[in-house]
Amino acid sequence: MHAQTRFSLKRLTKTFLTLSLADVAIRVGLPDALTAEKYIRNMIMDGAISAKIDQRNGNVFFLDSPGANEKDFVSIQDKVIRMIDRNISSTR
């Protein structure tokens, strides 16, 4: 992996909580979202960053630190989904 790309990706984790893979590719100078996903996956496996990839929606969620508890992430994600559902229901 190119060191500058890794550095740029790591810097994104300090600036953003969530980005689309397409945005990551643009900001880091990669050709496409698929390439960005491959870089992110490699960095997660290396322990360089802590993130979750939502392939269905094409997003990456940057977590606080490498090794962050997956249960905590899922719990927070569930709470956010419930809040969104409540807001959608209340506007109908």
Q: What is the mean pLDDT of the chain?
A: 85
Domains of the chain: 3-90 (1.10.10.10)
Mean pLDDT, range 57-84, rounded to an integer: 74
Residue 61 · residue 45 · CB < 8 Å: no
User: Given pLDDT bands bounded at 50, 70 and 90, which one contains residue 43?
Assistant: very high
54 contact partners, CB below 8 Å, separation of at least 6:
60, 61
- Is it the case that residue 22 has pLDDT exceeding 90? yes
The predicted pLDDT at position 79 comes to 79
